[in-house]
């Protein structure tokens, strides 16, 4: 588990299962199914965020406590960039929690389009 987290941290951004399996810290020591099971567990525990792409592949990125990033995803090349903007949905989360009584509310927001290189 530590090796998977270490590989994700060293990747510096969203990474696919295939990219993780090729990482020097995991290559040869874990098979793809084992890495996938670890990613699934870490995602279920909200340690990782899973970003789904239109081609049904996924990338995983480390969650940072209550702080999160929203992302832009290129539908042509799959490039993913974190938005460097204040998240407008956080205020809505608080309002939804207040009105509904739900706690632990969170969201995941991705915008899809073509990056400048693909446009």
Instruction: At 30, list the tokens.
Output: 């874990």
Q: What's the pLDDT score for residue 66?
A: 64
CATH code for the structural domain at 2-113: 1.10.10.10
Give residue-wise pLDDT tens across range 65-117.
666 788 898 888 888 898 888 888 888 988 999 999 999 888 888 898 999 99
The burial class, CB within 10 Å (0-12 / 13-18 / 19+), for 100 is: exposed
Q: Exposure of 111 by Cβ count < 10 A (0-12 exposed, 13-18 middle, 19+ buried)?
A: exposed
The pTM of the full predicted model, rounded to 2 decimals, is 0.67
| The predicted structure's pLDDT at residue 76 | 87
Q: How far is CA 58 from the centre of its chain?
A: 8
Q: What is the edge-to-edge ordering of all strands in the sheet holding 15-16?
A: 15-16, 58-62, 48-52
Q: Any idea what the Cα angle at residue 69 is, between residues 52 and 60, rounded to 5°?
A: 40
CA–CA separation, 94 vs 13, rounded Å?
Answer: 27
């Amino acid at each position: 588990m530590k090796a998977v987290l270490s590989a994700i941290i060293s990747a510096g951004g969203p990474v696919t299962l295939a990219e993780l399996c090729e990482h020097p810290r995991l290559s040869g020591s874990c098979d793809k199914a084992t890495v996938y099971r670890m990613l699934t567990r870490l995602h279920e525990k909200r340690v990782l965020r899973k970003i789904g792409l239109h081609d049904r592949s996924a990338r995983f990125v480390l969650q940072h406590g209550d702080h999160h990033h929203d992302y832009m995803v290129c539908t042509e090349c799959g490039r993913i960039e974190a938005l460097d903007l204040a998240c407008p949905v956080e205020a809505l989360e608080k309002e939804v929690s207040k009105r509904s009584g739900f706690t632990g509310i969170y969201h995941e927001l991705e915008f899809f389009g073509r990056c400048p290189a693909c446009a």
